[in-house]
Amino acid sequence: MREPQHEPERRCIITGERGPKSGLIRLAVGPDNVVAPDVRARAPGRGAWIGVDRPTLEEAIAKGKLKGALARAFKSGGVTAPDDLPDLIEAALARTALDRLGLESRAGMLLTGSDRIAEAARAGKVRLLIHAEDAGTDGNRKLDQAWRVGSDSEGSGQAGLVITAGRAMLSQALGRENVVHIAVTDKLAAGRVGQAVDRWHHFIGRQTLDGLAQNAPEVHGGAAHVDLIEGREKSE
């Protein structure tokens, strides 16, 4: 049996709570002593981590709580945050998620096109299903049903995730035309995509994959959800 992997944890400087590193957002300080989002956690030097959603961050900024937290984290009262930090974080998280979809597309890990996705879904080959936010409800429903059939989850609430991006944005990210639905067919790729999208959606208060599983308890622990969790663990 595979030993469970333990992801490094970080502490949120706003709430004091600890959580998996992949679910938090790193802030890096620049030469001008102004912090900027480092969502890929690659910038050199000391960093601070936050694990809150956008409204909580905005409140922390307005009340001066973030300023104090940054001073403690960087051991300097001169470190400041730009007024548009929430916008910068949201844009960076969106870009990271869409870039991840583009990378998996170029690696051949996903499918587009309703007919191709439906066929793969019924055959049990779909690990993660995503719908554009401007996709039609009928198309979503048909593909959701095909996915449930292929993953032995008929009668459950298993459904694809409606991502915070329209077909134009998804088409640009994947370098394809008219991308309305996306099916990830590789377990590890599904974990990587799911992690990137969940962090983005959590920050802006939109539906996450974990939230979908919690709202459909019959699915939590089912084949599709287990694949996604295992894919995340192996990708870390």
Domains and CATH numbers, the chain: 9-83 (3.30.1230.10), 95-235 (3.30.1330.30)
pLDDT tens across the length of the chain (236 residues):
344 467 899 999 999 999 999 999 999 999 899 999 999 999 998 899 999 999 999 999 999 999 999 999 999 889 999 999 999 999 999 999 999 999 999 999 999 999 999 999 999 999 999 999 999 999 999 999 999 999 998 888 899 999 999 999 999 999 999 999 999 999 999 999 999 999 999 999 998 887 776 554 444 334 454 455 455 555 55
CA distance 15 to 153: 38
Nearest residue to 41 (alpha-carbon basis) of 23, 67, 56, 65: 23
pLDDT given at position 218: 41
Find residue 19's DSSP bridge partners: 10
pTM score of the predicted model: 0.88
Between strands 128-131 and 161-162, the pairing is: parallel
pLDDT given at position 7: 80
